[in-house]
A and B are shown apart, each in its own frame.
Chain A
């Protein structure tokens, strides 16, 4: 008996090495398996805010318009065409005929009206199926009218240029009114749209399964099904991809990109997105009230080393407040501040920097923040090299937002921040205008104020002519670069890895995961 016990202990430990099991975990044929970073919160496009959820939603639903492949330009989707009145207040959309939701009900003007009124009208019978945190994207909408079955008209209370891009955002995706009526507040777990894939199953923290919509108006996709798996731990996600358990993996950790690039069975995809990573400088008090000192830190920080060494090539150096992914609005002539510690020292002296310690808010991590602690430390070292003392204070993301968003006054001189937006208007409008000071409900936490910039941003917002808007943004970017209210650091390149079985995959600058054209063989 003792022998037996002895044996079983040895065997149990040795058993770890001798597990009999069938061969590798391969993904099934014609089923596309996507490794996500977390479980979705809801599959109701009006109720969610996270890119992680958008990746599923854009395959389940369509909007009136969408971003054209590879760009951030709006093109027709459920709406075949539209007209904008000269005063920019009326948008009239003509809907595609014969499109039905996955539940068989027709997509018509009434359905579109239902969608927007549910979000915007507090008296709507299904407004309580929310909350709808991003409904303010459409706060300019005064009313929605169904003129006939295929014509829907939006009336705005002021001209609002980003309206079309906001419609292309997941908050503008169209849900089936019949399904909302049937499921009420559980609609987010029983989603029905018009998209290329229809909802099949959601198992808590295990998988969301979508199956091919044979009747898709834009041509049914090739794979039979798509499975979205939440894998929170980045190392586990990489391991699962390497072991053949995934076909597509998003948000590849920088450390793993090189490994995948060298492996023959995988393809690495990269795409710069509408993302800006920057440091907010406190203009109201302390050293950064002085423009020369703000420029000095822009010169002092080695952005190339940050994106190449710290971020290992997963980002590009930023030049100004608008991401290059907004090709039409981005000013190509804008040069990033070069790394020039000599010039930085001169400017520090010119600005009268007296060696006082600068308080720098760093976060542990958060949406779009890349590798904030490592970046914060590298920035601290660069600034120390030109004689600026920086004291870092690190906060958990929600705590961080709670300290930065109300404004830096009395707290800090400098704070990390990153934004991802759907329109070039959003970031500067919410963070660089005088009227966007935190006390007025905006995000201008560093109190930058320049009347010229205010005026340019206002004009760009009410103009409906893209060329005119582009010219205004170009001018704004030059002024802001010169005024340096921020240190412009990086534009994130989103990464994804696909297995060799996947064809036709392409990352979008919108960071949405469009799977309509993807095939698996």
Chain B
């Protein structure tokens, strides 16, 4: 098992390197440069050239990339032009916020999705199934940013129960309760689509498993329905659902980019949006690197969980 994990972690290196190269090339290809973005209306060719020289952007592209790579090996992600501070500091500060949000959303969609899927499979075509299926359909088809605004409107503006945006109260606050209050709306918004997807797949997987011979055997042996559903069927269904949860982790991380913007969550997604619009290449590189690494790690965790449930996969 540990050999497998090490192998997978090593495979991460070329993936991330290739990714940074692609991001670097894309940022170089799209028109506009940091100097123009910073200078705005005052971007005369003369001012741009001067600022580019000060930012070290007058060097050739391969040279810029190699310098970046060399610094990366020494743990230095460079300095953000737009924020005027080390990229690493900014990325780490933002990463924790994103992990809290995405982690909560992932937990929420896994638990709710699995529960909803199992319940509606067991009660196939019953009223619970219909209600859950309906809610799942709404969850899948509502655009997240719209759902987010809707939730803000209802819970923050009309009912005044929860804060509209941010991660902590702007003055004072800062304890766990404060965080949870701010976390609830964005986490639910971010989890909505993934919950629906997971619920649907769980339902299908469960229905399939429940028709298997060994389930009939288990029932015939006189096992309780609870034991049949959760120990025998649930575990088997989980094996096919877990990789989907791994993939959903990617969607949740991707969704965080705009959900963080809607809720002004101080995470890495909102940071990336701003960094791209200011052509802050180093910050984009650093952010993408971290997001990609988290995505690969989430998937790795899903694979490990899957193979620990299904011994056949370990060979």
Could you say which residues of chain A place their CB within 8 Å of the CB of B295? none
Check if A239 sits within 8 Å of B93, measured CB to CB: no
Please, what's the 1-or-0 string for A224-243, where 1 marks a CB less than 8 Å from any CB in chain B?
01010111110110011011
Please, what's the 1-or-0 string for B155-169, where 1 marks a CB less than 8 Å from any CB in chain A?
111001111111111
Please, what's the 1-or-0 string for B83-117, where 1 marks a CB less than 8 Å from any CB in chain A?
11100001001100000000000000000100110
Shortest distance between the CB of B168 and any CB in chain A (Å): 7
Instruction: Spot the interface stretch: B212-220, B247-255, B266-274, B303-311.
Output: B266-274
In the complex, whether B222 has a CB less than 8 A from a CB of chain A is no
Check if B156 sits within 8 Å of A19, measured CB to CB: no
Given contacts A225-B171, A229-B166, contact A5 B118 (CB under 8 A): yes
In the complex, whether A98 has a CB less than 8 A from a CB of chain B is no
Check if B157 sits within 8 Å of A2, measured CB to CB: no
- Bound state CA distance, A438 and B46, in angstroms? 11
Instruction: Spot the interface stretch: B36-44, B59-67, B238-246.
Output: B36-44
Check if B32 sits within 8 Å of A204, measured CB to CB: no
Check if B170 sits within 8 Å of A227, measured CB to CB: yes
Could you say which residues of chain B place their CB within 8 Å of the CB of A243? 152, 156-157, 160, 163-164
Could you say which residues of chain A place their CB within 8 Å of the CB of B279? 398
- Bound state CA distance, A207 and B168, in angstroms? 10
The one of B33, B165, B229 that contacts A236, using a Cβ cutoff of 8 Å: B165
Q: In residues 5-46 of chain B, which contact A (Cβ within 8 Å)? A: 30-33, 35-46
Instruction: Spot the interface stretch: A33-41, A141-149, A450-458.
Output: A33-41
Given contacts A5-B119, A33-B170, A203-B266, contact A24 B160 (CB under 8 A): yes
Check if B170 sits within 8 Å of A245, measured CB to CB: yes
Check if A9 sits within 8 Å of B115, measured CB to CB: yes
Given contacts A133-B39, A186-B85, contact A399 B165 (CB under 8 A): no
Shortest distance between the CB of A425 and any CB in chain B (Å): 14
Check if A239 sits within 8 Å of B184, measured CB to CB: no
Could you say which residues of chain A place their CB within 8 Å of the CB of B83? 39, 41-42
In the complex, whether A189 has a CB less than 8 A from a CB of chain B is yes
- Bound state CA distance, A454 and B146, in angstroms? 52
Check if A233 sits within 8 Å of B262, measured CB to CB: yes
Given contacts A9-B116, A401-B36, contact A239 B164 (CB under 8 A): yes
Check if B164 sits within 8 Å of A47, measured CB to CB: no
Q: In residues 181-227 of chain A, which contact B (Cβ within 8 Å)? A: 185-186, 188-189, 203-207, 209, 225, 227
- Bound state CA distance, A21 and B162, in angstroms? 7
The one of B33, B82, B116, B264 that contacts A233, using a Cβ cutoff of 8 Å: B264
> Closest residue to B48 on the A side, CB-wise?
A405
In the complex, whether B172 has a CB less than 8 A from a CB of chain A is yes
- Bound state CA distance, A16 and B186, in angstroms? 12
Check if B264 sits within 8 Å of A232, measured CB to CB: yes
- Bound state CA distance, A246 and B230, in angstroms? 49
- Bound state CA distance, A397 and B32, in angstroms? 9
- Bound state CA distance, A19 and B188, in angstroms? 12
Check if A398 sits within 8 Å of B171, measured CB to CB: no
| Tally of A interface residues using CB under 8 Å | 75
> Closest residue to B54 on the A side, CB-wise?
A131
Could you say which residues of chain A place their CB within 8 Å of the CB of B118? 5
Could you say which residues of chain B place their CB within 8 Å of the CB of A242? 157
Given contacts A8-B115, A28-B172, A399-B30, contact A205 B271 (CB under 8 A): yes
In the complex, whether B128 has a CB less than 8 A from a CB of chain A is yes
Check if B170 sits within 8 Å of A207, measured CB to CB: yes
Check if B184 sits within 8 Å of A398, measured CB to CB: no
Check if B43 sits within 8 Å of A405, measured CB to CB: yes
Check if A443 sits within 8 Å of B44, measured CB to CB: yes
Could you say which residues of chain A place their CB within 8 Å of the CB of B90? 204
Given contacts A133-B47, A243-B156, contact A42 B261 (CB under 8 A): no
Shortest distance between the CB of B229 and any CB in chain A (Å): 7
In the complex, whether A157 has a CB less than 8 A from a CB of chain B is no
- Bound state CA distance, A398 and B97, in angstroms? 29
- Bound state CA distance, A27 and B171, in angstroms? 8
In the complex, whether A130 has a CB less than 8 A from a CB of chain B is yes
Check if A367 sits within 8 Å of B261, measured CB to CB: no
- Bound state CA distance, A9 and B132, in angstroms? 8
> Closest residue to B46 on the A side, CB-wise?
A441
Could you say which residues of chain A place their CB within 8 Å of the CB of B131? 10
Q: In residues 426-450 of chain A, which contact B (Cβ within 8 Å)? A: 438, 441-443
Check if B171 sits within 8 Å of A28, measured CB to CB: yes
Check if B84 sits within 8 Å of A25, measured CB to CB: no
> Closest residue to A41 on the B side, CB-wise?
B82
- Bound state CA distance, A218 and B30, in angstroms? 48
Could you say which residues of chain B place their CB within 8 Å of the CB of A47? 84
Residue with the greatest number of chain A CB neighbours at <10 A, chosen from B51, B85, B132, B164: B164
Shortest distance between the CB of B146 and any CB in chain A (Å): 10
Could you say which residues of chain A place their CB within 8 Å of the CB of B264? 205, 229-233, 236
In the complex, whether B137 has a CB less than 8 A from a CB of chain A is no
Given contacts A6-B128, A28-B171, A49-B39, contact A232 B84 (CB under 8 A): no
Q: In residues 69-83 of chain A, which contact B (Cβ within 8 Å)? A: none
Check if B225 sits within 8 Å of A2, measured CB to CB: yes
Could you say which residues of chain B place their CB within 8 Å of the CB of A206? 166-168, 170, 266
In the complex, whether B300 has a CB less than 8 A from a CB of chain A is no
- Bound state CA distance, A283 and B41, in angstroms? 21
Q: In residues 304-318 of chain A, which contact B (Cβ within 8 Å)? A: none
- Bound state CA distance, A322 and B265, in angstroms? 40
Check if A239 sits within 8 Å of B170, measured CB to CB: no
Check if B156 sits within 8 Å of A39, measured CB to CB: no
Check if A42 sits within 8 Å of B171, measured CB to CB: no
> Closest residue to A136 on the B side, CB-wise?
B47
Given contacts A9-B115, A398-B36, contact A1 B230 (CB under 8 A): yes
Check if A27 sits within 8 Å of B157, measured CB to CB: no
In the complex, whether A120 has a CB less than 8 A from a CB of chain B is no
Query: Apart from A50-B40, A243-B152, what are 9 other A-B pairs with CB-CB below 8 Å?
Result: A28-B172, A41-B83, A41-B84, A131-B54, A136-B47, A206-B266, A229-B166, A243-B164, A401-B32
Q: List 28 A-B contacts (CB under 8 A).
A: A2-B229, A27-B170, A27-B171, A28-B172, A31-B171, A131-B54, A134-B42, A204-B90, A205-B264, A227-B171, A229-B170, A229-B264, A230-B264, A236-B165, A236-B263, A239-B156, A239-B157, A239-B164, A240-B164, A243-B163, A245-B166, A367-B41, A398-B279, A403-B31, A405-B43, A419-B41, A420-B41, A441-B44
6 nearest interchain CB pairs?
A398-B32, A205-B266, A24-B160, A131-B54, A399-B31, A1-B226
